[in-house]
């Protein structure tokens, strides 16, 4: 089915891992999702919206006050600055007393603006609290994953670390691979998600590091793959989606985070540098400066020999 230029221009871009998809038939924005949209945008964008709305409302009431024909006491006739200042004082319910309404028209405007100001303060306060109290995770994922033997079986390994000085309780991790398109016997073309079985998919507490491992055995969708398959251009759409959930012990709320590995992020016949060592004082130390470092498998073999 061919797609018209008009529909292409209205397409919504959605990113899945490192691949951009253009969605047609679903609007980019819906007013019922306005709160969700405000929670999703950046802090800079939010502040721009709040300040713009504040200036716009006060400017609108300023022009309305200027049409009141002397409805503001002690304000210079036709003064935009005085009318704008009166609008700011009214919306914030400051009430300095130097300027005040003198006729029914201005009193009505003041009542309307005070009501809008109260609603605005309540909404902005609630939005700020919701954004500040939103539980987040600071989990570090290794920049690469490796494939090396583990108990004689080729194993996909990457590691994660809790960057906060607390516990993530009942942490659970899931790894799903998005395979390339396949054609069914009926001629349907589709992409498949396959869950990877992990050596350990949960831990009672995540405090330091965790090496996540998937053994590439007969039950693995990666079974039979070679290093050349990982470097094949036709397979570069394949991605590994990692999701982590757990309970933050500090705020007692569920947190989650995610990460994506592409095929070119996976290094064969390498292993991770050990980040744990013992100092001269006999204490155990974790050196996270080597968290992403890997070395060839031959290095370990030479070490053992």
124 & 143 share domain? no
In this predicted structure, what is the pLDDT of residue 13? 60
Examine the domain organization and report whether 228 and 119 are in the same domain.
no
Task: Measure the CA–CA gap between 210 and 172, rounded to whole angstroms.
Answer: 11
Please give the mean pLDDT across all residues of the chain: 84
| Alpha-carbon span 148 to 154, nearest angstrom | 5
Which tens digits make up the pLDDT trace of 292-301?
A: 999 998 776 5
Are residues 224 and 81 part of one domain?
no
pLDDT in tens, 34-75: 888 888 889 999 999 999 999 999 999 999 999 888 888 888
Query: Looking at 107-111, 187-191, 298-302, which range is the least confident one?
Result: 298-302
Specify whether the CB–CB gap between 240 and 250 falls below 8 A.
no
Q: At 105, which CATH number?
A: 1.10.287.70
Are residue 270 and residue 294 in the same domain, yes or no?
yes
Q: In degrees rounded to 5, what are phi and psi of residue 74?
A: 65, 15
Q: What is the DSSP string of 98-141?
A: SS-B-SHHHHHHHHHHHHHHHHHHHHHHHHHHHHHT-----EEE
Question: How many distinct structural domains can be found in the chain?
Answer: 3
CATH of the domain at 173: 2.60.40.1400
Answer whether 143's CB lies under 8 Å from 292's CB. Answer: yes
Of 132, 156, 190, the position where a domain reaches its end is 132
Strands 266-268, 145-150: parallel, antiparallel or unpaired by DSSP?
A: parallel
Residues 146 and 289 placed together within one structural domain of the fold: yes
DSSP conformation class of 72: B
pLDDT in the model for residue 304: 45
The mean pLDDT value for 224-249 works out to: 83
DSSP run (H or E) holding 301: helix 297-304
Q: Select from 149, 208, 202 the least CA-distant residue to 175.
A: 202
CB neighbourhood size of 54 (10 A): 16
142, with CB counted inside 10 A (0-12, 13-18, 19+), is: buried
Question: Does 7 share its domain with 58?
Answer: no
Residue 281: what pLDDT? 80
Residues 176-195 have a mean pLDDT of 75
What was the pLDDT predicted at 14? Answer: 60
Question: Does 174 share its domain with 191?
Answer: yes
- Of 109, 132, 155, the residue at which a domain comes to its end is 132
Domain containing residue 265: 139-304
Question: What pLDDT, on a 0 to 100 scale, did the predictor assign at position 143?
Answer: 93
- Same domain, residue pair 145 and 285: yes
Residues 54 and 24 both lie in one domain? no
Average pLDDT (123-134) is 90
For the stretch 244-292, pLDDT in tens is: 999 998 888 899 999 999 888 999 999 999 888 877 887 887 888 889 9
Q: What 3-state DSSP class applies to 142?
A: coil
Average pLDDT over residues 137-145: 92
Q: What is the pLDDT of residue 7?
A: 54
Q: Is the pLDDT of residue 187 over 80?
A: no
């Amino acid at each position: 089915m061919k797609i018209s230029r008009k529909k292409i221009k209205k397409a919504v871009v959605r990113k899945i891992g490192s691949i951009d998809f253009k969605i047609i038939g679903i609007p980019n924005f819906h007013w019922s999702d306005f709160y969700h949209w405000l929670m999703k945008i950046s802090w800079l964008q939010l502040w721009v919206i709040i300040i713009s709305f504040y200036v716009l409302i006060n400017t609108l009431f300023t022009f309305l006050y200027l049409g009141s024909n002397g409805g503001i006491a002690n304000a210079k006739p036709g003064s935009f600055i005085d009318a704008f200042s009166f609008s700011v004082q009214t919306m914030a319910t400051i009430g300095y007393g130097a300027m005040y309404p003198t006729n029914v028209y201005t009193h009505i405007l003041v009542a309307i603006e005070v009501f809008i100001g109260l609603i605005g303060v309540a909404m902005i306060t609630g939005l700020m609290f919701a954004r500040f109290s939103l539980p987040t995770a600071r989990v570090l994922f290794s920049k690469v994953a490796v494939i090396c033997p583990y108990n004689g079986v080729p194993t996909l390994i990457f590691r994660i670390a809790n960057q906060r000085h607390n516990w993530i309780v009942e942490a659970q991790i899931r790894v799903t691979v998005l395979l390339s398109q396949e054609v069914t016997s009926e001629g349907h073309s589709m992409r498949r998600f396959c869950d990877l079985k992990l050596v350990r998919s949960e831990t009672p507490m995540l405090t330091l590091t965790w090496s996540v491992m998937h053994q590439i055995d007969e039950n693995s969708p990666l079974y039979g793959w070679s290093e050349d398959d990982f470097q094949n251009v036709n397979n570069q759409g394949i991605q590994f989606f990692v999701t982590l959930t757990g309970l933050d012990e500090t705020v007692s709320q569920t947190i989650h985070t995610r990460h994506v590995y592409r095929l070119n992020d996976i290094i064969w016949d390498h292993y991770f540098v050990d980040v744990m060592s013992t100092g001269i004082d006999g204490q155990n130390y974790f050196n996270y400066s080597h968290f992403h470092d890997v070395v060839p498998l031959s290095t370990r073999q030479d070490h053992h020999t």
